[in-house]
Structure 1
Amino acid sequence: MIDARLLDAVGSLAARHARPDHIPLIGIAGAQGSGKTTLARVATERLGAAHLSLDDVYLTKAERTQKGQAVHPLFCVRGPPGTHDLKLLEQTVEALRAAGPNSRTALPAFDKLADDRRPETQWPMFAGRPSAVLVDGWCLGATPQAEADLSAPINALEAEPDGQGTWRRAVNAALAGPYAEAFARFDAVLFLKAPSFDAVLDWRCEQEAGLMDLPPADLPPAKRAELAVFIQHFERITRHMLAGGVRADITITLDRQRRPFSP
């Protein structure tokens, strides 16, 4: 169940920026497993909004493979800045904002099992004109780091596959360039702040256990170890955001149960 305070925060941001001639674009940011996608879906129903996710505008597998060959092999892994089709996101938002009451707007969709974008014939359709467009994404609003902060690796992934820092510098450059431009088009961003980076692994394991129809305690240790390696791709930016490296209009700190935390 979504806490009413979170829904109210999304609703207040949408209402604040809504005008008869303007459909607000609201971002919901948060680390993996923070509940941002679930919040966006529930808020979408409440507001009569359209919902997009950064997860659905990844570059295709072929495009990421090409980038992996041209820049660094870690770009084959979807998720970090530099692996999204920001033009597709912009085009979809523009189409939704131009929609009329009888319009049907195709929304991009990504197949995570196939690790590739679904064919356009399988994209869901949004009917009508939305009251708002809600976009969830783990790195929405993230700011780039200073060059000096990129020198030392922060985990095994950066120390070994990215020992020269090529990948993390390219990711940071993407944040400073096209991603900053994309984030600037948002009317507002809500940031769901995890209590710590340690919570992110637990949350991601809970998600995986749910997909496997298992209680979280029964998730195989090998799977948890696999996820611990995977989230290293997101660790640098996540820690940076938790330390204040994010531009957000509202920040709500969560406890371990994903509830708004009141000290």
Structure 2
Amino acid sequence: MTPLEPVAALADRLLAARDGLVVLGIAGAQGSGKSTLAGGLKARMEARGVACALLSIDDLYRTKAERERLAAQVHPLLRTRGVPGTHDVAVGLSVIAALERGEAAALPRFDKGRDDRAPEAEWPIAAAGTRLLILEGWCVGAAPQPDAALVAPVNRLEAEEDAEGRWRAYVNAALAGEYQALFGRLDALALLAAPGFEMVAQWRGEQEAALRARVGDADGVMDVGQLARFIQHYERLTRHMLEQMPGRATLTIFLRADRSVDHIIGG
């Protein structure tokens, strides 16, 4: 069995239980296969005639100029997209609100090659009457940590580049604020749970190796050192989610190292 079967069954139950828009969250660490799962679910639903839209939390990233301002005004680490505080949550909420009203809605898109939001003319349109919105992303549904958990750094990046804890406190405060309003719109949450954070680093490395094989040493392709530093931006919250989210998610799919399904709880 692949993760698609239990997640599709969950979507079917949600759609049968209510009229109007259903919002299904899919969370999972980098490299866990959440984007593939979300795309497969969308294709399956559309093949059955269900009007479906897909939105990644990555597509809600703030513009490059906005993140540059955050880096200057709050902390330099906020220049790097990814953590809570680097998304325009209001845009995501506006998309959901429009779809809940039964209206068509433009779905934002982010151009990672340019590290900036794509022009609105390139945004796809979710049709009026959309029944299922899939919101996928590494931190979808995440809950903030208690303040005491922020004191000790979890890795070299935090110890050396956030010694005073300003960056992680800002990220946690953002997560505790508007992100909870966004995640509160979820009707259900499915989690792809990695065996541990160390596996996340391996999976992300495999993705980067595949990218290098495809495009060579182009801009944006990270070497081993760059990738190791990049992953540390996500380590704190990823570890927190792996510990805490299985107790809250509607459905948790525990993965093996090869991303096959080990076991499932909930649903």
- TM-score by length of structure 1 reads 0.89
Q: Which blocks of at least 5 consecutive residues in structure 2 are unaligned? A: 47-51, 215-221
Q: Structure 1 residues 254, 224: CA separation in 2 closer, same or farther (over 3 Å shift)?
A: same
Measure, in 1, the Cα distance between the counterparts of 2:170 and 2:60: 19
Q: 2-side partners of 1:202 and 1:142: how far apart?
A: 22
Q: Distance in 1 between the 2:157 and 2:245 partners?
A: 21
Q: Distance in 2 between matches of 1:64 and 1:262?
A: 39
* C-alpha distance in 1 between matches for 2:13 and 2:177: 28
SS in 1 for 2:161: coil
Contact 1:58/1:78 (<8 A) preserved? yes
Q: What is the Cα deviation at residue 20 of structure 1?
A: 5.6
Cα separation, 1, equivalents of 2:161 and 2:20: 45
Q: How does 1:46-125 map to 2 (within 5 A)?
A: 46-48=44-46, 49-99=52-102, 103=104, 105-125=105-125
Cα drift, residue 141 of structure 1: 1.5
Q: Distance in 2 between matches of 1:99 and 1:210?
A: 40
Q: For the residues of structure 1 that align with 2:140 and 2:25, how far apart are their CA atoms?
A: 7
**Counterpart amino acid of residue 13 in structure 1:** L
Report if the CA contact (8 A) 2:25-2:135 is conserved.
yes
Identity of aligned residues (%): 48
Stretches of structure 1 that go unaligned for 5 or more consecutive residues are 215-221
SS at match of 1:261: strand
| CA RMSD in angstroms, aligned pairs only | 1.8
Aligned partner of 1:24 among 19, 22, 25: 22
Q: Aligned with 1:67: secondary structure?
A: helix
Superposition deviation, residue 94 in structure 1: 2.3
Give how far 1:71 is off.
Answer: 1.2
Check if 1:13 corresponds to 2:10.
yes
TM-score w.r.t. the length of structure 2 is 0.88
Amino acid at match of 1:208: E
Whether the aligned pair in 1 keeps the contact of 2:20 and 2:102 (CA below 8 Å) is: no
8 Å CA contact retained: 1:47, 1:131: no
Give the paired residue count: 250
**Cα distance in 2 between the residues matched to 1:99 and 1:182:** 18
Query: Which residue of structure 2 aligns with residue 248 of structure 1?
Result: 249
Q: What is the CA distance between 1:127 and its match in structure 2? A: 4.0
SS of equivalent residue, structure 2 residue 66: helix
State the AA in 2 paired with 1:14: A
Distance 2:97 2:36 in 1: 24
Q: 1:155 is aligned with what amino acid?
A: N
Q: Which residue identity does 2:199 align to in structure 1? A: A
Superposed CA deviations along residues 181-239 of structure 1, whole A, max 9, x for unmatched, are 2111100100100001111111111111222236xxxxxxx712211110100000001
- Could you tell me how far apart the structure 1 residues matched to 2:124 and 2:148 are? 44
CA distance in 2, matches of 1:26, 1:182: 12
| Corresponding position of 1:44 | 42
Name the SS of the counterpart of 1:231 in structure 2. helix
